[in-house]
Amino acid sequence: MSTLKLDKEKFYSVTEASQMIKDITDITKHYNGINQNLIQQLYSVNIQLKNASTIEDKVTLLIKKDELKATIEKNKLSEATDISKIRYLKGLQIIKILYEKTLALDHHYASVATFNEINNLSNPNHYPEFLELKDVLYTKKEKKIGFDLSTILGNNVYTSVLHSFVSLFTNTNASKQEKESSLKEVECILDFSLRMHNDLNTIYFETAFLQKSNDNIIKELEQLFVDFTKPIHYKVALKACRNSDDWDTIRELLNDYLNVLTKISKDESQQYKAHKMQINLEFPTDRLLQFITQYNSHINQGAKFYEKFGIMLNSYENEQQCSEKIPTEYKKLKENISIAIEKFNTAYKPVEINGSKMKEVLYGINEYD
């Protein structure tokens, strides 16, 4: 039975889909060439059987016919084993690709969800100018008329702003000009925080939701890796495998597994065991295809969420007028969201493992011309 040399560089590369297609094509052409010759010989033997006149000739031809059929069947099994090896390696490559993508996406979600605490951007109590105004109002307020908010209400966006407005215009000793000047200092902050409060908090909480969904995807991918490597008796978790760069061990175990499969496939009494080993090696591929569909749905969901985030962040109508007062974190957030939208369609989306070529590689379908 033919065996393929496992190339280390090819195993590690995440851009070898075209090489895998070429390898499967070469295997198919190789076995087609051999089997075509055997089929022609079989056809010739059948003709000779029809014209054979003696028992001896017929027996000799029947034996030769059985030998040719057995050789063709062995070649089919050898071809299937060689293609299974390539499919298995490609499947591991895809798992590795998706794991890196989900980890990168998890890092992105975490950075956005804690990006200087997005919810703080929408609360004027986190702006020095507004806090300074509150201090001024507190020192100048009419003690008999004014009142203080509790800590809870004082940190609330709406009650804090309302209390400050009431204090500014009704119970301070400041002049009209001073009040107008104080208001002008915080008008952009108040306008921005009150207008964008709901949108920024929506981004914060929905990003947390996306991060949770991504955590689930990572867990399912890690379980898929367990199922994928179980037939070859690899027992290290995906995270540990990645951290220790233990891919060579998987490669060695796969070689051992296929060597056993090659050996027992030559024994007619163990054909069932050989068939079962072949199925065990191929079955995880179906799980992988199902997971890819789930992963793509997850990425599409994230892309739609971020497109919505982009619209929200671009909806602040006084951005140009208040550009000097708007916090730089808001502008950076807009940039990050814009970049993320592009990444959802490029870096995070597994373009290289989508479409018919991916199915051809994983299933070993002979449709490469």
Instruction: Show pLDDT as tens, one digit a residue, over the chain (369 residues).
Output: 333 333 433 333 334 456 666 777 778 888 888 888 888 888 888 888 888 888 888 888 888 888 888 888 888 877 877 887 888 888 888 898 889 999 988 888 877 766 556 767 777 777 777 667 666 655 555 444 444 544 444 455 555 555 555 555 555 555 666 666 666 777 787 788 878 888 888 888 888 899 999 999 999 999 999 999 999 999 999 999 999 999 999 989 998 998 888 888 777 788 788 888 888 887 787 788 888 888 888 998 999 999 999 999 888 888 888 888 888 888 888 888 888 888 887 778 764 555 555 555 555 554 433
Distance CA 192, CA 213 (A): 31
Residues 6+ apart with CB under 8 A from 319: 326
Q: How far is CA 296 from CA 11, 102, 307, 349, 350, in A?
A: 24, 11, 16, 7, 8
- Per-residue three-class SS string for 259-320: HHHHHHHCCHHHHHHHHHHHHHHHHHHHHHHHHHHHHHHHHHHHHHHHHHHHHHHCCCCCCC
Distance CA 124, CA 161 (A): 8
Q: How far is CA 335 from CA 59, 90, 309, 316, 332, in A?
A: 81, 36, 11, 15, 5
Rounded to two decimals, what is the model's pTM? 0.71
Q: Tokens 């890796």 correspond to what residue? A: 225
